[in-house]
Homo-oligomer: A and B are copies of this chain.
Amino acid sequence: MEKDKESVFNSVPEFEYQEKAVSIDAAEFVKLCESRRSVRVFENAPIPEDVVEKCLDLAMLAPNSSNLQPWEFYWPKSADKKRQVVEACLGQPAASTAAEIIVVVARTKTWKKHARQMVELFKTSEQKVPDSALSYYEKIVPFAYTQGPLSIIGLFKRVTLFFLGFFRPIPREPVNHQQMILWASKTAALACENLMLAFRAFGYDTCPMEGLDSRRMRKILGLPRDAVVVMAIGAGQRSARGVYGPRIRFPRDQFIKRI
């Protein structure tokens, strides 16, 4: 398995595929990022359903860990469900005035099914798929993401990796359930950013809400045990009162560390 790991990580596999880098209007993306603000009050105006669908599709174009796509997007359609979701968002205007609310969820167990799906897709692919890719999903992924009850397998991995780590660089995480939540939530957050930028690109605005009652939200959404609420995103048409003030960012030197 180490051999496969080496070949996956350290060598470029044989394949016949090319995808040219298309040119993008950078100024338009700068304008997009600068115009995206957390909007906390929305006009009483709907978002066309096909726009929401398109934004969700763009969200799922975000990169994600090992392409295991551990994200889900809960979209309350009925007035009653939406009311409950607004309550779980503490009734804040960003939720109560939103035309739509998307609750982004991370899953820590769907990777098993998704790894199998990858293998099936590879085996039925017309493209030549390198063996290293197949064995990545058949061997390395199960090794990397299986933690076992009470993360006992993870603990075993942690100890093993600790000693292996003396001799060469080696991945250290995830080795317990908490780190699986972190793993899945990071990927889901990448999709959240795409989703918020997408709404802005289509003329709407959003507000990410982490200050919510995750316990109530779990019940309302009927989440399975391995699911974690990452954030709720309210979306709609920006109200004139929607942005509470100029954007504040601290001096960039606090954050950019040249080493």
Chain A residues at the B interface, C-beta cutoff of 8 Å = 9-13, 15, 17-26, 28-38, 40-41, 54, 56-58, 60-63, 65, 67, 69, 71-78, 81, 87-93, 114, 117-118, 121, 127, 129-130, 133, 165, 169-173, 178, 181-183, 185-187, 189-190, 192-194, 196-198, 200-203, 205, 208, 210-216, 221-222, 230-231, 237-238, 240-241, 243-250, 252, 254-259
Q: Is the CB of A257 within 8 A of B73?
A: yes
CB distance from A74 to the nearest CB of B (A): 5
Contact of A258 among B36, B58, B75, B114 (CB under 8 A): B75
A237 partner residues in chain B, CB cutoff 8 A: 21
Q: A9-B92, A26-B203 are known contacts; what are 20 more A-B pairs with Cβ within 8 Å?
A: A10-B93, A15-B245, A21-B35, A21-B237, A33-B194, A60-B249, A65-B210, A69-B250, A72-B256, A75-B257, A89-B169, A129-B245, A130-B244, A133-B244, A169-B213, A170-B213, A171-B214, A173-B214, A187-B189, A189-B193
Q: A24-B201, A114-B250, A173-B214 are in contact. Are A182 and B181 (CB under 8 A)?
A: yes
Among A12, A88, A185, A222: residue with most chain B CB under 10 A:
A12
- Top 10 A-B pairs, shortest CB-CB distance: A189-B189, A29-B201, A193-B193, A169-B213, A19-B243, A33-B61, A190-B193, A21-B238, A26-B201, A28-B28
- Greatest chain B CB density within 10 A among A37, A185, A194, A255 is at A255
> A230 with B186: in contact, given A73-B256, A196-B63, A257-B72 (CB under 8 Å)?
yes
Contact of A61 among B21, B34, B243 (CB under 8 A): B34
Bound CA span A114–B245, Å: 17
With beta carbons under 8 angstroms apart, the residue of B18, B35, B63 that contacts A24 is: B35
- A259 in contact with B91 (CB, 8 Å): no
Query: For A186, what are the chain B residues with a Cβ–Cβ distance below 8 Å?
Result: 185-186, 189, 210, 230-231
CB neighbours (8 Å) of A20 from chain B are 238
Name 14 A/B residue pairs within 8 A (Cβ), A-sorted.
Answer: A9-B90, A9-B91, A10-B90, A15-B244, A25-B201, A28-B29, A60-B249, A63-B193, A90-B170, A121-B248, A127-B246, A171-B211, A171-B214, A193-B193
B10 with A36: CB separation less than 8 A = no
A63 touches B36 (CB 8 A): yes
Q: Is A19 within 8 A of B37, CB to CB?
A: yes
Query: Once bound together, how far apart are the Cα atoms of A185 and B228, in whole Å?
Result: 14
- Nearest-neighbor residue (CB-CB) of A206 within chain B: B63
